[in-house]
Structure 1
């Protein structure tokens, strides 16, 4: 009896803590996301957003895996196991991303963190898909229409964002009347240069081109970036597909789990997926359309809120399952 009361109180504390943590996170982004200068965001802000995101996904992982290994959970434990593994992969991906960005001061197109992000999306798609298919859906016509409209919107957004991957043409190429100075006003050469004279003149340029530009960066970091760089297009395509699929599944969850005691937790899961989609779409837009964009914008709060809502949904499911089991025991 004492153990059950203790678990109930801890779960209630987790729910209250997640709500307060979400409010603090939103306040932090609202107050300080505009603190960027010409040099980017201050280091304390970048570290603060990283800590908030890491802690949010770590706590969500703990709460989801607790549901997966609890015999009293009413929903499928495989679903919570998949979501928990997704939170774990996202947590590890954030560690790599933070190390690359804050530790190494690198901004590569692809890092090892992307591999864990892709795994996270796969776990989320499979687990949330199971949550939908294991429930006998009895949706009305307008609900299928909403799902189709949301899916079409996701496809359009994916097409627009993918179009931003094409690098913008330089201003000199956009203006047909622009002539480079080297062509407009060539320097006349009065005397021909001998081959012996040419070599010394180009020697400093050759030495500068051959000099390493990654001074202070470990060689294994450069090797990993070089290995992953050819997969940039494939990973970007997978991100767009995964976000669109998750958006459709989240809409289906939101419509399917509308009423009942356990619907509240799944509405939190659907809201978490929406927040994840918004943050991903904004980051894709910002990194392809905005020059010199540095991570930490206001809409990136969606990643932290997504983890908070996943954890909140897990805590609500755990509390509702134990309350149902306790009420059934009293009836017996």
Structure 2
């Protein structure tokens, strides 16, 4: 009995809030160092310059594990009946994170193994699911909490929405690569989705500001900003000579890590609130 309790306690302590947050920060720092130290292009066999294949594989691993971990942590929130923002919120976000993980796997396989860069691939199916699920989860979170912002807060949301839209529109005009019809449709879907998620995340951040789950939604907002930065850079850099692994692509890793940290903080807040309520009932 004592041995079973000790093993259970050790297991819980390994996956404590503090350890999970430190693991997320550590993963983000390692990814940043990896991108900074090894992202330089080296001379290739054909006389041009390219990044080492092992480096590109490493960037895919950093990104994939960040979103896989975030998906698992979000689904842990979904399974918890005490979760503050609503279980369906985290189910939708969790599915979105796992979809992004799968999309990245297929994208990496197409780029690294098949040596292809198609405008549309099977990975796009999972990326589309990601944006739909993220949007659904954030809208459910807004519906769960009455949005009652001050005028200055709405001005912040409006300013971010206008800036994000103008930047996305400018970047879309800079693209020199000709896309097929489906590729063009997907491109605009991603642009609109990035801006929409940015606006929703900002609104939720301001709505939850100062509340019991403010910390978790700060992380989610930061994750949405990171996703926007990485996506906009990817759209700007795309062209005939595009190669994966530019430094700004580390924001994809940051986004996955921040979504996971947001899930961890909400889980911890929800459990603490549940314990306090049980304590009051006993008293």
CA contact (8 A) 1:155 1:244 kept: yes
Which of residues 32, 39, 64 is equivalent to 1:33? 39
1:252 and 2:257 matched: no
- 1:118 corresponds to which of 128, 141, 144: 128
- Cα distance in 1 between the residues matched to 2:60 and 2:154: 38
**TM-score (normalizing by structure 2):** 0.89
- Aligned mate of 2:241, from 262, 277, 292: 292
Normalization by structure 1: what TM-score? 0.77
Say if 2:31 and 2:62, in contact at 8 Å, map to a contact too.
yes
Structure with the greater relative contact order (CA < 8 A, sep ≥ 6): 1 or 2? 1
CA RMSD in angstroms, aligned pairs only: 2.0
In the alignment, structure 1 residue 306 sits paired with structure 2 residue 255: yes
Structure 1: state its 5+ residue gaps.
169-227
Q: Secondary structure in 2 aligned to 1:259?
A: coil
Asked whether the equivalents of residues 82 and 270 of structure 2 are also in contact (C-alpha less than 8 Å), the reply is: yes
- Label 1:5 to 1:75 Cα distance change in 2 as closer, same or farther (>3 A): farther
Correspondent of 2:77 among 67, 77, 82: 67
Contact 1:11-1:318 within 8 A present in 2 as well: no
CA offset digits 1:269-326 (Å, max 9, x no partner): 11000000000000000004xx502011000001111000001111111111112212
Contact 2:233 2:248 in 1 (8 A): yes
- Equivalence map 1:1-332=2 (5 Å): 7=12, 10-12=15-17, 13-37=19-43, 38-167=48-177, 230-288=181-239, 291-331=240-280, 332=282
Structure 1 residue 97, shift from structure 2 partner? 0.3
CA distance in structure 2 between the aligned counterparts of 1:265 and 1:60, rounded to whole angstroms: 13
Q: Deviations over 1:168-219 (max 9, x none)?
A: 9xxxxxxxxxxxxxxxxxxxxxxxxxxxxxxxxxxxxxxxxxxxxxxxxxxx
Greater Rg over alpha carbons, structure: 1
The question of whether the paired residues in 2 share the 8 Å contact of 1:54 and 1:91 is answered with: yes
Aligned residue pairs, count: 270
Q: Which runs of 5+ in 2 are unaligned?
A: none
Deviation at 1:268, TM superposition (A): 0.3
Whether contact under 8 Å (1:8, 1:319) holds in the other structure is no
